[in-house]
Structure 1
């Protein structure tokens, strides 16, 4: 019964978002109204770029920009699912401010996810099945640790995929999203350890260069390997 209630709460929150009830610091509207967004919607009409099959899972074909966009869509699905779950039932020790910020981050991630889904159209992979069994959602420490892992990985993923994007419009769009993900990462990092929001030393394993002031960057294969523990759906990668 609890799971059913949680699903209902999540549906209500997502419906509220789609009806326009965004958080105070919302970033992208569901319609994705921009020149790059319009171009992406039109391009998304092409078929067979990415798909889900019950037996084969989801396929990411990196032969062109559509593969990169579906890759981003997969990661945004994961992040959105995590934040929807946290926002619907935050740890009891979360402060009012923390609850509000996690609500806002939730809306950002839903916006990112729905933008890619709407823009890719029939080229989009299907919905991924997630596995958050390793996260204790009643524990603030567990939730914050998972949030930090997701945000740091998300930043590294966008940075690492940038070199694969051929369209300048798509590259600008990715830059706008990764900057928001970095804001999330800085906020979460500061909640865990006050004053550590700009720390890059702990991100060297993800490709960060503290001396050079450069953030993390990982190739898709490494990102998907790290994210794999949270995704039940099989991810097939070709032409990487």
Structure 2
């Protein structure tokens, strides 16, 4: 299967063409985000331990950017080194998810501009990429965490523009989560560990999400302005 994605950088031709159109935002919305990022909520960088996401809406965007970096790196590795016994259909699914995550990552990077946290270095040493069970279990953990993270931080977003974009991205992440769940166990896309009896997806606070994400990152991420530190 031919792909435009560079397995190292994730710099897809498709991603470059698509991310400015993503979520219906277009170049104008990116300009608004970038202008805001340049004037307030600067990011605090610790060269030893990693990056602090900053404060306010920019902090939430950096929070999402960190999670999208992690997911993009994971699926890039999955596609570059497919697990044993992967089917053509499964590889297509993984490639599609990777492409989405790369678009999300590049969208936030461009939108945040100089207020973006640094490029994160993943630590996937605990993942056996040759094992279908291990890869899918990790994918499920990342996708479920991503959806819960967006849901848990949504109330902190002040800008209606940012909130709309976040809502459109989390909708895609939820589709990923449902697909991965079904690959593991058919019909489990609305399992009780994610969706409650009221039909509502679970959520997690920043303080609960970052320790999990940091377990898979060499470059640690903190959120001191949101009452969280490493």
Q: TM-score range by the shorter chain?
A: 0.7 to 0.9
Q: CA deviation at 1:237?
A: 2.0
- Distance in 2 (CA, whole Å) between partners of 1:66 and 1:231 is 21
- List alignment gaps of at least 5 residues for structure 2: none
Q: 1:222 to 1:181 in 2, by over 3 A?
A: same
Q: CA deviation at 1:60?
A: 1.8
Q: Does 1:202 align with 2:187?
A: no
Show structure 1 runs of 4+ deviating over 3 A.
15-20, 26-32, 34-38
Q: CA deviation at 1:45?
A: 2.3
The answer to whether the 8 Å contact 2:15/2:106 transfers is no
Which residue is equivalent to 2:53? 60
- Distance in 2 (CA, whole Å) between partners of 1:191 and 1:73 is 26
Task: Please report the RMSD computed on the Cα atoms of aligned residues, expressed in angstroms.
Answer: 2.4
- List alignment gaps of at least 5 residues for structure 1: 1-7
- Distance in 2 (CA, whole Å) between partners of 1:202 and 1:121 is 37
SS class of match (2:11): helix
Q: 1:131 to 1:167 in 2, by over 3 A?
A: same
Structure-2-length-normalised TM-score = 0.88
SS class of match (2:8): helix
Structure-1-length-normalised TM-score = 0.84
Q: CA deviation at 1:90?
A: 1.0
Which residue is equivalent to 2:7? 10
Q: CA deviation at 1:12?
A: 7.0
Q: Does 1:215 align with 2:191?
A: no
Which residue is equivalent to 1:43? 36
Q: Deviations over 1:169-207 (max 9, x none)?
A: 1000000000000000000000000111122x123xxxx
- Distance in 2 (CA, whole Å) between partners of 1:38 and 1:67 is 17
